[in-house]
Structure 1
Amino acid sequence: MAISGVHLESDAYMVCMAHALSTEREEVMGLCIGEVDMNKMVQIVSVIMLTRSDKQPDRVEISPEQLSAATVEAERLAELFERPLRVVGWYHSHPHITVWPSHVDVLTQAMYQRYMDEGFIGLIFSCFNNDKQTNHGRIQVTCFQAINQSPEGEPPMYERLEVPLYINAKDSMSGPCLDALVELPRILTQEELHAYDKTLVSENKDLLTQIHNGAVYTKSLSHLMEVLSAPLLQSLESRLERNKMKMEALKKEKEELLKELQTS
């Protein structure tokens, strides 16, 4: 089933972008929650960030346990939104490289379409690249599926099939997207702790190596606080202030409308 297009809510898009920009050394990934309508159009309303057990600059994987947990979360959100939501796709980042899916990405996408759902889609966020003309930072996003181009009876040969992507603007951020955004620092901190714990179980560690590993771990946490947690907190506080201003404006408008009703 070829998907005709994908509508990505702007708050879910914001979460994906924050996740992609959280590190430029390795790829990050997550799963998309939404539904597919009768016109084969995918509607993505939320995303689930995944913890990486193994950091790689050019490869990401989803474990069966993570897929199971994402399915449970999709069921919870389906009850919350009162919509038939499910896991409809995955996303990952391409730091410092092109937005187009690699051969491995296409094969991974084909596997998801075969074992998960034929309407499963993939999103790629390319970041930390500069525009050659302006030398300014450029972020690109693409949506794709995998299609088998081999004749019938021949071994499969998959190629990317680009899917139209539309970003739906929203004035507010949904609760699940806000929860996912707030979860980001915890996920990255957990990854750093996991990497540090690995150094503690290795044998034949001298004191200097232990001190070095502890210093690297502390530096990583400080870096997360500086480049992610503090800006995220500032952004959320600014959003809170804007919402308070909107509430005050709506209260005044309500009072004016009530006065008009009383005088009419």
Structure 2
Amino acid sequence: MLNKVLLSTDVTLACVQHALSTEKEEIMGLLIGEVHENNSLVSIVSSVILRRLDKKPDRVEISEEQLVQATLRAEELAAEVGRPLRVVGWYHSHPHITVWPSHVDLATQSMYQRMDSSFVGIIFAVFLTEQTAKAPSIQITCFQSVNEGSSQSRREIELEITNNNDSLTINNFEILTQLPAILKEEEDESYINEAGQCDTDIITRQHNSAVLTIAIGHIVEKISRPMLEALVARNALHSVRLRALKKRHQELMSMLDNMSCNV
């Protein structure tokens, strides 16, 4: 029985950034990792951001093709790092509502568990406001579904956020930088669908174009620019640490040379 899930900090960052990309609809992605200790422990080391087919405030739908693509991606990563990685879970967001899974979430989780008993679900509740602090907060829960006759209940799984797997750091940052492009694809698809369903008069076309422009502007302002600023700041921090490590390395080498001369 699954008892604990380890979630890397890079994957956590990507999932939270994805969840914060919209406060009107839910988002969804898949989690790649490894199962240990007779299925009692799962470590999550990467994720796959999925493009939504249907965007709703209380549910999200994806295509079967994307599930297959995620499985293939897990196989590619497994070959790269030489470890038995596979799709081990899914995540989605709850904007403005409780972190606990709904009956739809439990039914979806139950379906996945029928294929893999160690499969987990993680929910990121975002855009919440703490009544005491009056500040936005993010809540995370990890769960599995337990069948009780014709219905399901949740079983909470212990979740621990751990240090990154260095061999997958570049991969996880690439996933993070894919987010704006995936969000744009969703908006482009919505625009095309609306254009196909509506009359072709000039007012309707202008309205749809304006909505698309606003949506893309939102992606740039709320996702791309903050992400770029965060990555630049992180790169600067790493540069400072690298200089400090190089300086320390030189000091240690100098001490070693002095010790050799004394001997």
How would you bin the TM-score normalised by the shorter chain?
A: over 0.9
Structure 1 Cα separation of the partners of residues 136 and 162 of structure 2: 23
**1:45-78 superposed Cα distances (whole Å, 9 cap, x missing partner):** 0110000021111111232111110010001111
Structure 1 Cα separation of the partners of residues 52 and 256 of structure 2: 58
The amino acid of 1:127's aligned partner reads V
Whether 1:27 aligns to 2:22 is no
Whether 1:165 aligns to 2:164 is no
Structure 1 Cα separation of the partners of residues 55 and 62 of structure 2: 12
Which TM-score applies when normalising by structure 1? 0.94
The amino acid of 1:160's aligned partner reads R
Structure 2 Cα separation of the partners of residues 203 and 21 of structure 1: 30
The amino acid of 1:166's aligned partner reads E
Number of equivalent positions: 257
Structure 2 Cα separation of the partners of residues 62 and 216 of structure 1: 23
Which TM-score applies when normalising by structure 2? 0.94
By how many angstroms is 1:171 displaced?
A: 9.5
Whether 1:66 aligns to 2:60 is no
Gaps of at least 5 residues in structure 1 are 151-155
Change in 2 beyond 3 A, CA 1:234/1:70 = same
By how many angstroms is 1:204 displaced?
A: 2.5
Structure 2 Cα separation of the partners of residues 202 and 109 of structure 1: 34
By how many angstroms is 1:162 displaced?
A: 0.7
Gaps of at least 5 residues in structure 2 are none
**1:75-104 superposed Cα distances (whole Å, 9 cap, x missing partner):** 111122221100000000000100000011
- Identical-residue share of aligned pairs (%): 47
Whether 1:246 aligns to 2:241 is yes
Q: Tell me, what secondary structure is at the counterpart of 2:61?
A: coil
Structure 2 Cα separation of the partners of residues 261 and 63 of structure 1: 60
**1:209-252 superposed Cα distances (whole Å, 9 cap, x missing partner):** 11111111111111111111000001111111111111111111
Whether 1:81 aligns to 2:81 is yes
The equivalent of 1:199 in structure 2 is 194
Structure 1 Cα separation of the partners of residues 189 and 248 of structure 2: 52
